Structure 1
Amino acid sequence: MGKNNKKWVSILLTALFAVITVIALTPVVSLIVASMRPSSELMRQGLSFFFDPATLDLGNYLAVFSEEGASYWQWYMNSLIVSGGLIVLSLFFSSMVGYALAMYNFKGSRVIFLLVLFVLMVPFEILMLPLYQMMIGLSLVDTYFAVMLPLIVAPVAVFFFRQYCLGLPKELMESARIDGCTEYGIFFKIMAPLMGPSFAAMAILQGLTSWNNFLWPLLVLRSNEMFTLPVGLATLLTPYGNNYELLFSGSVLTIVPIVILFLFFQRFFISGLTVGGVKG
């Protein structure tokens, strides 16, 4: 391919990615603009880019920080607790399961991995009813654990960690055993540091999944004080009135933790996905 052809290909790819970026950012920009528009105007015109710029102000955000937004910050804290707890527990348990399936040849390991793949292919909506009955039996309904427990050992996380661990050198395990290191010591002191990119990638994916999770928390949470953000914001839309001021400004603020999480782990995100995806 000549230099001119490469130049045109580069220009076309840049233009294509620019168009994709604009399409991807349009809903976000629309949401931010809507969060600064009066609710009366939103009722008349809906989400539209055709509006009077003079009507834009930060009054809707003041509502979030007023007494009217007290419930919102309770939902925010609930989401932080659930998402933070789920990230920590999921990374801990899922990494250990994936590591064991990849690094140890024990009886039934293949069967367990096939079961993981099977559950991975089953939509979560099919499992919700038996899981809900389980939460009732354990008396966990309307608690943080009810939201987190079914997602702690996620099949996608187990699969991802197994694929990543297949690329780790088993010679390190043999050397550590010779030095008298226990199996848990091998994992926590030697292998876990090597799995840093995979931990970062799954932290972002699990955090994003938990933060945006709506259907399962809607099913197991009953009191307003325990609602997570997606469920709590949905309660602002009712047949008797819609609190658009709090809804749109609150929705913009929900983006902040995910952006911070991604910026914190972005160095490892791509490498974790790439390495974990090509090992077989």
Structure 2
Amino acid sequence: MVYLFVLILMALFALLPFFFMLVSSFKPGAEIIKNGINTKIELDVMSFRNYFILFKESNGIYLDWYKNSVIITGLHTVISVFLCALVGYGLAMYEFKGKNLIFVLVLVLLMVPIEILILPLYKLSVLLHIIDTYAGVILPFVVSPVAIFFFRQFAIGLPRELLDAGRIDGCSEFGIFFRIMMPLMKPAFGAMVILQAMFSWNAFVWPLIVLRTNTNFTLPIGLASLITPYGNSYDMLFSGAVASVVPIIIIFLFNQKSFISGLTVGGVKG
């Protein structure tokens, strides 16, 4: 009972900022400036006007940001999870020259701060002419060392006998992966889809460096641009922040069982 009370208390603390944001999204910007952000529900000043401004009176700029974030997150998540699963599976299931060296390099990359990589990645992006494009945001971080390590740890626990059984039945190595191993790795895929989607959806530093055009901004950059020294658009900021949470909630609801089982099983393998 004590553990349940502690968990409920922690959940309330985690949800409190979102509740602040949700209540403020229905209040006029002037009201927020006057009284600050609070949880007081004032029906006389609250309305859906901020959301009307967001979707109707913003000349479609917010919808452009939303579309960019959805496309970038979708492409990044699908490509990243697929490639990292292949690499992690290969490191776990096959013996080849340089395997341990590759795994060590993956572990080293886990310890390298993103700030160190920004300058060389930016110079490479300029040379490839992918500045201010979706590719410029997606490609530099499409293969995640965290995801590779996670998939490797999960795949280590899969029975190797299935590889021999698949070969006897005439399956190719890719056929074994897609038809036999991939269904068994569903919990790992569910966990990584959520984590990679959250990483891509909330990414700020790299998209801020790469993207130049206002209509190409993602949601984090677009919402941050509403806060300027010349004026703050709180009307759009809070309503836009609330709307931006919806896709991540949907992804989590569809993958929550796989997410929990994937983290639990993957955390004890190897």
TM-score by length of 1: 0.94
2:261 aligned residue (265, 271, 275)? 271
Which of 180, 200, 203 is equivalent to 2:170? Answer: 180
TM-superposed deviation, 1:51: 6.5
Question: CA contact under 8 A between 1:63 and 1:69: conserved in structure 2?
Answer: no
Separation in 2 of the partners of 1:111 and 1:279? 20
Which of 105, 114, 117 lines up with 2:104 in the alignment?
A: 114
Question: 2:208 matched to 1:218?
Answer: yes
- The one of 218, 226, 249 aligned to 2:239: 249
Q: 1:151 is matched with which residue?
A: 141
- Answer yes or no: is 1:17 the counterpart of 2:25: no
How far the C-alpha of 1:67 sits from its partner, in A, is 3.1
Alpha-carbon RMSD: 1.1
For 1:271, the aligned partner's letter is S
Aligned to 1:139, which of 117, 120, 129?
Answer: 129
1:97 to 67, 77, 87: 87
From the superposition, tell whether residues 256 and 51 of structure 1 become closer, same or farther in structure 2 (CA, over 3 Å): closer
For residues 16-67 of structure 1, give each alpha carbon's deviation from its aligned partner in whole angstroms, at most 9, with x where no partner exists: 1121111011000000011011111111222123564421111111111213
1:208 alignment partner in structure 2: 198
CA distance in 2, matches of 1:116, 1:83: 23
Q: Aligned ranges for residues 31-42 of structure 1 at < 5 Å?
A: 31-42=21-32
Is 1:124 the counterpart of 2:103? The answer is no
Which of the numbers 26, 34, 43 marks the counterpart of 2:16? 26
Given that residues 19 and 39 in structure 2 are in contact (C-alpha distance below 8 angstroms), is that contact kept between their aligned partners in structure 1? no
Letter in structure 2 aligned against 1:187: F
Q: Deviations over 1:155-213 (max 9, x none)?
A: 00000000000011110001111122111111111111111111110000000111011
Q: Distance in 2 between matches of 1:69 and 1:259?
A: 27
Of 155, 162, 181, which aligns to 1:165? Answer: 155
CA contact 1:69–1:246 (8 Å) conserved in 2: no
Contact 2:83 2:143 in 1 (8 A): yes
For residue 6 of structure 1, what is the aligned residue in structure 2? none
Shift of 1:78: 0.2
Residue in 1 aligned with 2:44? Answer: 54
Task: Tell me, yes or no, if the aligned pair for 2:84 and 2:144 is still in contact at 8 Å.
Answer: yes
Distance, in Å, in 2 between the alignment partners of 1:82 and 1:151 is: 12
Letter in 1 for 2:48: L
Structure 2 gaps, min length 5: none
Give the number of aligned pairs. Answer: 270
Q: What SS is found at the alignment partner of 2:44?
A: helix
Question: 1:35 & 1:221 partners in 2: Cα distance?
Answer: 27
Output the CA distance in 2 between the equivalents of 1:176 and 1:49: 59
- 1:234 equivalent among 200, 224, 233: 224
Contact 1:221 1:227 (8 Å CA) reproduced: yes
Alpha carbons 2:27, 2:47 under 8 Å: kept: yes
TM-score normalised per structure 2: 0.97
